[in-house]
Chains A and B, each alone.
Chain A
Amino acid sequence: MVTSKKLLEVDFFFDPKPLTTKEKEMISEFIKTDKEKKSRLKKSREVRKQQQF
């Protein structure tokens, strides 16, 4: 078992295996959804701000 101390010593090594097309699509889909979520939050914040005034 890897302890948290050992994990910190490992620092940052990523897995160098190449991404599959499916994995690339998964990343793009997540980014798209995350951007939409961010945009919705921004809009609702603006609406709330306007309502306060």
Chain B
Amino acid sequence: MKNNPQYIDIEIDKLTNSIINVITGDNFQTVVSVLDNHDLKSVTKRNGWLFNWKSEFKLPDRDVYKLTIEGNPEVIQGLISITERKDHVYMHLIESAPFNLGQNKVYLGVPGNLVAFTCRLAFHRGFEGYVSFTSKSQLIEHYRKTLGAINIGGNLMVINTGSALRLIDKYFK
């Protein structure tokens, strides 16, 4: 079935917030910006990334954003792929950098930052903060608890205005 993607003229939103170094507890200011061709060289499976971000980047209906630490734009902390639909923003993929995964992760808060960024974008685009995504079955409860997402049937999840505001408040104070 053919998708009906809506293309958007995206401005580079620079949203300053922070992620936390697991060991030191220090906060680092972060920036979310659009992934570019130059970045694709580092986000490869060879470098430990799980998804094929080059393919994702090439899809015409996708916008891929990266999270970096302010003043250190070369090191990508996490990536998110989204599409603007007629009434909300849909999240296709989200991945923390290989060094931000599991028990030995370097920074906390990377995925939350990226989801909160998407919620904020959903407000800016006039969607009242509505964001949706498809969850793996075993993670539905996890997303309900951590994101306040609502399971609307099958594996579909929606973050509504209230939950979006809570996430934005948490990450973009």
Contacts and interface: CB of A to CB of B under 8 A. Distances in A.
B121 interface: no
A5 B100 CA distance: 16
A28 B136 contact: no
* Size bracket, chain B contacts: 35 or more
A13 B95 contact: yes
A20 interface: yes
Given A13-B95, A20-B1, A24-B85, A7 B158 contact: no
B139 A13 contact: yes
A27 B139 contact: no
Interface stretch (B15-23, B25-33, B34-42, B125-133): B125-133
B122 to A, nearest CB: 11
Contacts of B160: 31, 34
Contacts of A11: 96, 100-101, 110-111
Contacts of B142: 4, 7-8, 10
Contacts of B87: 27-28, 31-32
Contact of B158 (A2, A13, A30): A30
Given A27-B88, A35-B128, A14 B101 contact: no
28 contacts: A2-B138, A9-B101, A9-B102, A9-B103, A10-B142, A11-B100, A11-B101, A11-B111, A12-B94, A12-B96, A12-B112, A12-B143, A13-B93, A13-B94, A13-B95, A14-B92, A14-B136, A15-B134, A16-B51, A16-B92, A19-B3, A19-B134, A20-B1, A23-B134, A30-B150, A30-B152, A34-B160, A34-B161
Interface of A: 2, 4, 7-21, 23-24, 26-28, 30-32, 34-35, 38
> When A and B form their complex, which 10 residue pairs have the shortest distance between CB atoms, in order from nearest?
A12-B111, A15-B134, A30-B152, A14-B133, A7-B142, A27-B132, A12-B94, A2-B138, A11-B111, A16-B93
